[in-house]
Amino acid sequence: MSNYIVTSTFCLWATMLASGFLYQGQSGSQPQSNAPELSLSRQATVTTEPIVLETPGGKLFGSLEAPKSSAPLPVALIIAGSGPTDRNGNTRGIPGAVNNLKYLAEGLAAQGIASVRYDKRGVAESIKAATSESELRFETYIDDAVLWGKQLRADKRFSSVIIIGHSEGSLIGMVAAQKMNADAFISISGAGRPAPQALLDQLKGKLPADLQTKVEMITKSLSEGKIVEDTPPALDALFRRSVQPYLISYFKYDPAKEIAKLSIPVLIAQGTTDIQVPAQDANLLAQAKPSAKLLMIEGMNHVLKEAPAEQEKQMKSYTDPSLPVAPKLIDGISSFIKTVKK
């Protein structure tokens, strides 16, 4: 992979657009948590159990985190971001573990809210459900989320179904929420701009002039639904031929337009030290959906941890499982969900 592309671990949309790169050399193992063991009181009140979704393309595997209750509970479907990201929020290729989605689920359970998080198609335990890179489409992930939502809707243990999408999962979630009539939608660190615009903004000033021109040309072509055959090797990580159909399917969605279509309660959560998706994206989503609640969390970064903007401390937060999810995020989401009418 060219050093022009990987200028840092987190600054480029190269990794965020790499959902088509999921299926090469992955294993089903998941990083272990270094978090403290669950207290005996929590073990007595919260259960974690496996949950499986049957799809035409194979089985998807996840975890149901739920407080013990005789009454139906609200359940949140947590959708991970881009790349080979598992149910806990950990990404193959990044050392250590972040466990942000796992900790989010545990925090919600402590507040009386059930959740399901799952290994995306082709990732970890769901690896056997992988499709070929050239056949993958953005709609594949949307369809999977819709099927999960419908399964939860039919489960009598749950009173309402709320979609939570993190990063790229935000766009997946807002489209899925329309298709399965979710009771509410929550975006966490979601882009407010179409992917082509966000990609160009991320790469601006980070490439040699000739490659920058090529990126602009290729992005324009893909946005128009046209395959580009002669991509330079230095841009293979982003634009190799086999991933272009996925990018074409992805590029046609505008987050601002999709969130505006929702007629359900919406929460937009964003951290102020997110170096992947800036705060302006949350503001764009809020402008597109004026009825939405905007939750800006001071000092929270893209992986939902409290961290300053300095690169060294940001990188540590991406690989250190001992760091908790920002408490204000859990409190804000829990309060919002409890206002959702059943």
CATH number, domain of 144, equals: 3.40.50.1820
Q: Which domain holds residue 146?
A: 33-201+254-339
Does residue 248 lie in a domain region?
no
Number of domains in the chain: 1
Does residue 298 lie in a domain region?
yes
Q: What is the dihedral of CA 318, 323, 324, 326, to 10 degrees?
A: -70
Task: Indicate the pTM of the whole model.
Answer: 0.88
Q: What is the dihedral of CA 176, 181, 187, 190, to 10 degrees?
A: 30
CB contact set of 225 (below 8 Å; sequence gap of 6+): 248, 252
3-state secondary structure 86-113: CCCCCECCCCCCCCHHHHHHHHHHHCCC
> In angstroms, rounded to a whole number, what is the distance separating the alpha carbons of residues 110 and 83?
29
Does residue 9 lie in a domain region?
no
Q: Under DSSP, is residue 74 helix (H, G, I), strand (E, B) or coil?
A: strand
Predicted confidence pLDDT, tens digits, the chain (342 residues): 333 322 222 333 343 333 333 333 333 334 344 444 444 345 558 999 999 999 999 999 999 999 999 899 999 999 999 889 999 999 988 888 999 999 999 999 999 999 999 999 999 999 999 999 999 999 999 999 999 999 999 999 999 999 999 999 999 999 999 999 999 999 999 999 999 999 998 888 889 999 999 999 999 999 999 999 999 999 998 999 999 999 999 999 999 999 999 999 999 999 999 999 999 999 999 999 999 999 999 999 999 999 998 988 898 999 999 999 999 999 999 999 999 976
Does residue 220 lie in a domain region?
no
Does residue 234 lie in a domain region?
no
Does residue 26 lie in a domain region?
no
Does residue 291 lie in a domain region?
yes
> In angstroms, rounded to a whole number, what is the distance separating the alpha carbons of residues 50 and 73?
18
The strand pairing partners of 50, in sequence order, are 63
Does residue 17 lie in a domain region?
no
